[in-house]
Each structure stands twice: as C-alpha cells, then as structure tokens.
Structure 1
Amino acid sequence: MDVVVVGGGLMGTAATFFLARRGLRVTLIERGRVGAGATVASFGNIRRSGRFLPQMPLAHRAREIWGEAERMLGRDVEFRATGHLRLVFDEDGLTAMRRFIADAHPWGFHPEEIGPNEIHARFPGLGPDAIGASFAREDGCGNPRLIAPAFAAAAQKLGATIVEECEVLDIALTEAGFAVRTARGEHHAERLLNTAGAWGARLAARFDEPVPIEARGPQMGVTEPLPHRIHPVVGMWAAPGRRDGYLRQVERGNIVFGGGAERSFVDLDDGYAKADPARLPHQLRSLLRLCPALADVAVIRTWSGCEGYVADGLPVMGPSATTPGLFHAFGFCGHGFQLGPGVGQVMSDLIATGRTDEPLEPFAIGRFARA
C-alpha cells in the first residue's frame, strides 16, 4: 500500500480520491461512517468572505473543485453558486468588512460592497436594519451529507479501499513505513495522512508533535419548509468576540441555520456532540436580525458534531516536522467545509510529488514546537 488515510471526513475522502486518481494505492480508515463527524455537522457554507487571507489560494482552488464536483464525482452534491450575502449592523462591522474587501483584492477575491437601499431592492426581507453588506456572487453552498460519501464512492471506483466503523488502535513506524493496527486487522503503507479531525492531535502526539486543540460542537438547526424566497447564503459581519448567525434556504424550502450560540465542549473519548435546547432561543433571536419573517417559524430538528479548534484558530496542514512520510490536515476550526476539496487535492500533491503551489507555511505543525 502506498498511503493510509486516517479519518473519513471531507478532507480524508477528498484526499483519498485525488490520490487514487493519481494511481496511488490508498486505504482510508474511518472510526465511524464516512462523513458522519465534523463534515455532517457543517452548515454547508461555501464562502471566501472573512477568511484568513493567506488561506485564499487554497480557498480559490477549492471553489474551482466545487464547481466541477458533480461532473468529477458522478453525482449531484447540491453545490449551488447562490452568492454569499454578509450583512452589517454596526460601525465596527462596517469597518471590518471594508478592511477585508480592500485586503482581499491582492489575493484575487473581489466581493462587492452594497448599501442599505440596494440590500432592500435586491434582497427584500433580509436585514431591514442593516447599514451595509458584502456580496460574493460566485460563492454559495453545498450539502454536507452528500459530499464525503460522494468522494469516497468515486475513490472506490478508482481502486481505493474504504474501511468504515474501524477504530485505529495503534500506529508504529517500520522499516517500510507505517503499520496501522485497527480493530479489524493491520494495514501497512509507505506514507500516512492524518485527517482525523478533532482526534488529529492525538495521532500527531504519537510522533512528538504537540497541537493545542479543543473538541467542540456547533449548534445547527433546520426549520419547517417555507415558500422559497431566500436565494443567497446569508450571514453577518460582527466585531471580534461577538457571536454571529447565518442561514440559507434549501430547495425544499427549509431554512438551515447556525451560529448565534456558544459551541459546546465534546469529550473525545466518545466523540458525542449534542445540541443544547437551552441555547436555541438566543440563537433564534440572532437570526431575526437577518430575516425577521422567521419569528413564527417552527424548528423541526437541531444537531451538532465534533469539530477540532486549534488554539491559534488556524488548521494544521502539511508534512510532519518529525517523521518523514507522515502528513497532517486537521483542526479546521469550523471553517473547513469550503476548503475540503482543495485540501484533499493539495495533500495529494504533497504526498505524491513533495510540493504544492499553495502557501502552507502558516499551517505547519512545527509552529507549536517552536512556541
């Protein structure tokens, strides 16, 4: 075997697909079901607004792949370029938005600023108290429940092995590379890719690479079906430290929403994250600023999932600093859904050729050892 991938979320399944497409022999090992962890907990936001700017080349690459995903994977993953509207309600938010728009231009991202009158004309019913907004017309959304299984199925067609409901018990270095012992047997490979999400730091620690990370669960929800009137993904620019909210309407009419509530802490030993009903009223109040018409709408389901939040807010991505043949891509701090396909392709580049065009220095795992 050329590569073993540990972790079957969007990052792991995308990397497995791109590695298999290069002709490498790949086995992916997932402790649960493919895509059932942080990926399925995602809101489904495919946005570049507000990103850490050195991450923008990776975000651009990922956006291109999202646009090709249906053709590439042979199934509809419900990617829709609906546009991403981000509303502003105070002067601090307006300053932050304008600074980002100006700073993002050299990185090849050009959201437009729109004023209150244009918001009301183009997006009636959204943000009636907003004093401004940004709009990125080429961004949008995708279905978190479809994308990882689609990558895994496409990878299998290319010859990859997908092993689900199989916990990794131990990983050892051998003369030939890595021996991965699981509850269902042992796998050997020259290279190992760690896409284990919130559990990624535990795997890295086996190789003397500390990563300060917390496992947390976002609070997500969905409403009853409504007449389809909201086309873009809608969020807000908020000052640092303030909780924001975001929503989108799916084609069946339901409103999917998130934000506006603290993320709960998750025990990694069981990895079980659950929504807190006590936080729902505050969460819904934050959404009314975005769309007051939701005041009397019924919420039919809430959920959560286990995500990894690194102390400095940036993911770990790139080669190991201690162990040749080991690679990491984990800890995306709740902002990884849009990036996932790009992460998979970049990691396949690194593993297969030793290089990539995207700048990964800010995400190197060695930054924690240096600190």
Structure 2
Amino acid sequence: MSNTRSAAVIVIGGGLHGSSTALHLARAGVPALVIEKNYVGRHASGVNAGGVRTLARHVAEIPLALASRELWYRIEELVDDDCGFEQHGQIRVAENEADVAALQERLRLMQSLGYTHETWMDADELRALIPRIAPTVRGGLAARDDAAADPYRTTLAFRRKAASLGARFLEGVRVHEIKREGGQWAVATNDGVCTAPVVVNCAGAWADRIAAQWDEPVPMQPISPMMLVTLRMDHFLDPVVLGTGRPLSFKQRANGTVLIGGGRRAWLDRDAESTELDFRELGAGARTVCELFPHMKEAVVNRGWAGIEAAMPDEIPVIGASLKREGAFHAFGFSAHGFELGPIVGQIMSELVTQGSTAFPIAPFNIGRFSKT
C-alpha cells in the first residue's frame, strides 16, 4: 500500500455490516474504502448460524428485522448470489408449561404492538411439520416467513458486489489510530495512513476501542458463541428450531449436515484473536439436542468452531452517528444476532452518511444510551 490512501468514506471492519455498508454506499455512488485486519468474514460474520430471523427479536429491532427480511427475499438481485437462502420458517419450541407461558406472553406482546409475524403453533401441528421431534413438546412460537442462509458465502457476496461497484477492500491491514485533522480523518494502520472525511466503525468485537478514541466509551463485551456441525444425515428437518428455556439453535442444511448453536460460549483471547471450545458447555448443548430429537444420539459431530463478536449489556446494537465526532458513525454490538440485520444496516448507514438521516427508527441504538452524564 502506498503511504497515503484517500476515499470518500472509510469503513473499518469487513464483516457483513461493513461490506453491506460499502455495497449500499457504492449503490449511492459513494466508493468506500474498507479496512479489514484479517479477511472478510473471519469472525462473527462468517461463522454464525446463518439465521434470517425476525422471531423473538428485541422489540426495538423488529422494524429493522422485518425490513431486512424483505431485502433477504430479493438477496440475489442485491448481490448476484442466492447466498444459500432457504425459507422454511423458524420455531421457538415449548418443552414445558413454563416455556408455554413465556411464549404465550410474548405472543400477547406482539399482538398488542400490532405485529403479526409471530404465530402460535400447537403440538399436533408442530409434530406434523417435524415428525422426529420429541413427543413431549407442547407447541411453539413460529415465524413462518423466516429463513436461513450461508453466512460466509453471504459476506463474500456482499464484498464482491460492493467491489464490482467501486468499493475497495484492504485485507490484512490493522487500524491503530484515528484522528480528525482539518476536516479529514487520518486513519493510521500498520501499512500507512488512509484519509477520508467520513469514517464508519463496523469493527465488531474491536469496535469499542475505536469508540473510545472518539471519547465514546461503551460497556461492550467480546463473546465467542460456539457452533457444531454433524456429518450428513437423512433429511428430517426443514425449519430452524430454537430453544426457549435453554439455549438452542438447530437446523439441517441442504447437504444433510446438522448445524447446532444457541449461544453457548467458548473461551477467548481478543488480543490474540483465538478461541478455545468449552466441551462441558458443548456437552450440555448436545444433551438438549438429544432430548428434543432422540435420533440425534446416533449423529456424528464433524467439527466445532467459534468466532469472536461483540455483545452489549442490553443485547441490542449501536447504530447511528457519533455524538462526539463529526463525520463518524457506528454499527456494532449485534450481540450474536446481527446476521439477519446485515442488509438493512448497510442501507441505514449509507443513508446516514449520504443524507444525514434515515426513516428507520434507530433512536434505541444511539451510543449515548451508555453515557453516564
């Protein structure tokens, strides 16, 4: 890289939200420069469960999730790749009366707010849809129009499409310091200085360090959700199955393998960017799977992995303009459920940069909610 690179916008972080921001900026005629310290999709964006999920979202996220799902329905038009998108719905199952009560309360809340995307599925209907599920399951809360996709393929598709429209990507380049100098941002990296009037912080589990440089400290925690995948099995499941009283995300992919997640966490070293699987926690997750799907006792686990991502104490992200610095914006802290939001967050960030505002209700995601003053 030459000593100095300039761009209209610099996006820090090449995950799905950074690549989506670059794509939507490019569609608006603004070629961004994306700086990624590893490679696109290395951590949260490439190694998650791939849920295109509006089900059981935080109330503040629902408008964004529903709008993003509409973009997912047309994902091939957006990025020239279907991203492995499969629409079979998602169901949060009730294993006992406490689960039933919790899900029914959730349904009443959705109805009171005018939302109809979550509906109740009784036990007979659930077993008709998923014959291999345990007969003790009492029913579930379903978002029948939800879906799933391939996370790494999706992130690369956004990167490729953005690049085809003029965005530039610097991979293997680490940002050290960001300073405002004479109406421009000077972004110092291990490979020279890049400049732009606007910077977007999409740095995932490292985004708090950038926010701190802008005098906007946040109580962000790096986390490392674990995933398992089995060898191929005969087809038995179409929708994504989620737990209620205990953590579970469970789906069978088109190739027959079964993907198991749910937020159980690995040990991590953020500075070393390394993770270590917690086999005790994986064992607990495996027991949940076998109790819900008894035939899974015969499944063979092929591999396990964990990426590193950012969690906020209120479990919703930071999206919006910096309150302390001109020409600075944030999109991070998606707390293990940001994949579905990727398409719409890129659109929102592009609107904020190019128009100064967005029609989407992003006030709950303001970084100022963590300020003590």
Aligned residues of 2:61 and 2:316 also touching (Cα < 8 A): no
SS in 1 for 2:269: coil
- Which residue is 2:163 aligned to? 156
Q: Residue 98 of structure 2 is aligned with which of 72, 92, 99?
A: 92
- Which residue is 1:72 aligned to? 78
Q: Which moved more, 1:127-136 or 1:78-87?
A: 127-136
Q: 1:328 to 1:108 in 2, by over 3 A?
A: same
Q: 1:59 to 1:107 in 2, by over 3 A?
A: farther
Q: 1:69 is aligned with what amino acid?
A: I
- Which residue is 1:123 aligned to? 130
CA distance in 2, matches of 1:204, 1:350: 18
CA distance in 1, matches of 2:17, 2:159: 11
SS in 1 for 2:108: helix
**2:209 aligned with 1:209, yes or no?**
no
Pairing of 1:229-240 with structure 2 (within 5 A): 229-238=236-245
Instruction: Give the TM-score normalised by the residue count of structure 2.
Output: 0.95
Aligned residues of 1:97 and 1:134 also touching (Cα < 8 A): yes
Q: For residue 34 of structure 1, report the CA deviation from its aligned partner.
A: 0.3
Deviation string 1:151-180 (CA, Å, 9 cap, x unpaired) is 011011101101111101211111132011
Q: 1:83 is aligned with what amino acid?
A: G
Q: Residue 248 of structure 1 is aligned with which of 226, 251, 273?
A: 251
Q: 1:163 is aligned with what amino acid?
A: L
Q: 1:332 is aligned with what amino acid?
A: F
Determine what percentage of the aligned residue pairs are the same residue: 35
- Which residue is 2:39 aligned to? 33
Q: For residue 107 of structure 1, report the CA deviation from its aligned partner.
A: 4.9
CA distance in 2, matches of 1:223, 1:141: 17
SS in 1 for 2:86: coil
- Which residue is 2:109 aligned to? 103
Q: 1:87 is aligned with what amino acid?
A: V
- Which residue is 1:318 aligned to? 320
CA distance in 1, matches of 2:53, 2:108: 17
Q: 1:195 is aligned with what amino acid?
A: C
CA distance in 2, matches of 1:136, 1:209: 37
- Which residue is 1:273 aligned to? 275
Aligned residues of 1:215 and 1:265 also touching (Cα < 8 A): no
**2:202 aligned with 1:200, yes or no?**
no
- Which residue is 1:139 aligned to? 146
- Which residue is 1:368 aligned to? 370
Instruction: Please identify runs of 4+ aligned residues in structure 1 that moved more than 4 A.
Output: none
Aligned residues of 1:39 and 1:145 also touching (Cα < 8 A): yes
- Which residue is 1:301 aligned to? 303
- Which residue is 1:220 aligned to? 227
**2:190 aligned with 1:183, yes or no?**
yes
Q: 1:21 to 1:348 in 2, by over 3 A?
A: same
CA distance in 1, matches of 2:45, 2:263: 20
- Structure 2, gaps ≥5 residues long: 1-6
SS in 2 for 1:237: coil
Q: Residue 338 of structure 1 is aligned with which of 337, 340, 344?
A: 340
Q: For residue 210 of structure 1, report the CA deviation from its aligned partner.
A: 0.9
Q: 1:301 is aligned with what amino acid?
A: R
SS in 2 for 1:359: coil
- Which residue is 1:23 aligned to? 29
Deviation string 1:97-137 (CA, Å, 9 cap, x unpaired) is 12222222335342221211221222211242111212211
- Structure 1, gaps ≥5 residues long: none
Q: 1:44 to 1:127 in 2, by over 3 A?
A: farther
Aligned residues of 1:56 and 1:107 also touching (Cα < 8 A): no
Q: 2:180 is aligned with what amino acid?
A: L
Q: What number of residue pairs does the alignment pair up?
A: 366
Deviation string 1:60-94 (CA, Å, 9 cap, x unpaired) is 11101111111221122011111112110122221
Q: Which moved more, 1:95-104 or 1:69-78?
A: 95-104
